[in-house]
Structure 1
Amino acid sequence: MRLPIPCLTLITDRRLCEGLSLEEAVAQAVDGGVNVVQLREKDLTAAQLIPLADRLRAITEDKALLIVNTHLDVALVCAADGVHLPERGPSVAAMRRLAGDGFIIGRSVHSAEEAVRAEEEGADYVQVGAIFPTRSHRGLPAAGLALLKSVAAMLAIPIVAVGGITAGNVEQVMRAGAEGAAVISAILDSSSPGAAARRLAEAVSEAAVPARRRRA
């Protein structure tokens, strides 16, 4: 199993969904072009996450990958496609021994050095950010496009940009070396998650071809 390229990842935050359940918002987003759903509900325990993960698995089945943040046990129980690890968390090698070779393992990184280390550990992709200012990580300074460019020059594995990304600036991150973008509020804070996802997916797709040519 591999990350789709280009990828548009929706990171979940059920608190942003107004007038819709998280499941309804995710379903609309997937129909709009999201091809990776990353379950990230940090206030829920593993036991609380499992039924939610099961429902999201049913929504994403044959339509999008499902990645679970941190909780490998939840990911395995709900037959997710992978797990996403925080910058300071379990080693990729340890997760690989438990999950097997066909399981996607990604890691959040905030520097080129961390990105290189993640690739050396065997990560399938890195999520790099925060590229632009973002409400989800208020204490984290924006790294800017320079970080993406430096990571792209060093890594062979896919790079997913995260942090303050919108349909208006996603072309910049793709052209800076990202193979995809991960968003939260750009979709979930919209009155129409499906339409927001469609705009982002179109922008990602349009920017992806010249970006891949440049890195080839």
Structure 2
Amino acid sequence: MEMKRPHGVYLVVDPKRDWPELLRQLARALEGGLGLVQVWDHWTEGISRKQQLDFLGEVAARCGEYGVPVLMHEDWALALEAELQGVHFDEIPADLATIRTALGGKIIGVTVGNDPVKIKRAGELGADYISFCAVFPSSSVGSCEIVRPENIRAARTVTDVAIFVSGGIRPGNLSRLAGLDFDGVAVISGILDAADPAAAVNAYHLALQKLKP
């Protein structure tokens, strides 16, 4: 799969949800035009490695039909074993340069907040994108600090990697981010809890298009 600059609507999948329903929702979301899919490292207790690999294989098969990269959250060894396209870290690993070498050309993303040093360092150490958490309050990102708009704006002055925003984002509040330079949005419930995930993804695309000058 050819790796392009990450952009668009980025769906985070929680494997603690019911798998058959989750895979159905994912299939519908893919029809709406996802740019990336990440599987959260949030497994139900007792799930075996084989079961994890089987589930990741199901996710990868569906995403592969649309050419959508699949990233594993935190567990980069599992990402390699499952032959996924990358990994996302909540913090910059101390050995990120070594991990970058092990992952080769796979995608690496890092969650950042208001610290400009962390933003710059992520790009210097080989991250392909950064994701701001959280732009708006959200129950799924309760451990994240609220990111100030000026720090999202300033990020482009210290890094040229792709930038995603996440946390409580809905198509209706994206207009509050007008004037900021970012490549896409990362979403969980705004898509997976929607009655029609494909329509929800399309609504995010339309809202993103309205932000373009």
Instruction: Return the TM-score normalized by structure 1.
Output: 0.85
Gaps of 5+ in 1: 211-216
Give distance in 1, aligned partners of 2:93 and 2:138.
22
Q: 1:165 aligns with which of 155, 165, 169?
A: 169
Deviations 1:147-180 (A, max 9, x none): 2112122211111111111111224436311111
Alignment of 1:55-204 (within 5 A): 55-63=58-66, 64-89=68-93, 91-100=95-104, 102-110=105-113, 111-173=115-177, 175-204=179-208
Percent identical: 28
Change (3 A) 1:136 1:128: same
Aligned residues of 1:92 and 1:105 also touching (Cα < 8 A): no
Q: Is the 1:130–1:144 Cα contact (8 Å) retained in structure 2?
A: no
Counterpart-to-counterpart distance in 2, 1:139 and 1:34: 26
Matches of 1:149 and 1:21, distance apart in 2: 38
Q: Does residue 21 of structure 1 match 2:24?
A: no
Deviations 1:84-127 (A, max 9, x none): 11215353212112111x21111111122211110111111111
1:11 partner letter:
V
> Of Structure 1 and Structure 2, which has the larger fraction of its residues in helix?
1
1:49 lines up with 2:52 in the alignment: yes
Could you tell me which residue of structure 1 aligns to residue 10 of structure 2?
9
- How well do the aligned residues superpose, as a CA RMSD in angstroms? 2.2
Indicate how the Cα distance of structure 1 residues 174 and 75 shifts in structure 2: closer, same or farther if over 3 A, else same: farther
Paired residue secondary structure (1:21): helix
Paired letter, 1:200: Y
How many positions carry a matched residue from both structures? 206
User: Which has the higher mean CA deviation after the structures are superposed, 90-99 or 21-30?
Assistant: 90-99
Unaligned runs of 5+ in 2: none
CA distance in 2, matches of 1:158, 1:46: 34
- Superposed CA deviations along residues 8-63 of structure 1, whole A, max 9, x for unmatched, are 1001124567x961111111111112121111142356714211110010000041
